[in-house]
């Protein structure tokens, strides 16, 4: 679609994700692990796999994946989610190395809990949450030519949350 409508692809932002399990590691059911991996890792994997040939055709570009603060700071009772987001971080570093000479930069943002209506409803309005604008600004920077020297990085976005 990007090829047909815009003449090519320059930037990919893999924002798909979700959180489906909370509880002790020993209670994570196979179907929950599969869902966490499918939504949080496989979507990024397959999107990158589809996008890289288009980026190569254009002579490079930028990929920004969404990991989570869970990849840099352990979070209690989130083993399946943390594993899936850690896979995204690993994929990010691997692709950055594999395609650096092709001028494809690959980075990931690792936000703490972002202020959304759902998160506020669940956690309350007094919790320190990352503002959506902080995430957007970081993604825009990593996708821009101003970040041309940055690749293979996992960028925590904590705002006032940590």
Catalytic center residues:
81
* Token pair belonging to 142: 């990593």
* Token pair belonging to 53: 């040939």
Cβ–Cβ < 8 Å for 27, 79: no
Q: Supply the DSSP symbol for 144.
A: S
Cβ–Cβ < 8 Å for 62, 104: yes
Residues pairing with 157 in the sheet = 111
């Amino acid at each position: 679609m990007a090829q047909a409508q815009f003449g090519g692809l320059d930037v990919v932002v893999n924002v798909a994700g979700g959180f489906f399990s909370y509880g002790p590691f020993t209670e994570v059911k196979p179907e929950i692990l599969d869902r966490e991996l499918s939504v949080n890792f496989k979507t990024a994997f397959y999107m990158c796999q589809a996008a890289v040939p288009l980026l190569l055709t254009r002579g490079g570009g930028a990929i920004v994946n969404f990991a989570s603060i869970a990849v840099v700071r352990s979070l209690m009772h989130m083993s399946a989610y943390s594993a899936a987001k850690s896979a995204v971080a690993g994929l990010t570093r691997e692709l950055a190395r594999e395609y650096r000479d092709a001028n494809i930069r690959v980075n990931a943002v690792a936000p703490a809990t972002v202020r959304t209506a759902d998160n506020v409803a669940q956690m309350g309005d007094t919790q320190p949450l990352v503002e959506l604008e902080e995430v957007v600004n970081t993604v825009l920077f990593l996708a821009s030519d101003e970040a041309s020297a940055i690749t293979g990085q996992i960028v925590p976005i904590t705002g006032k949350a940590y």
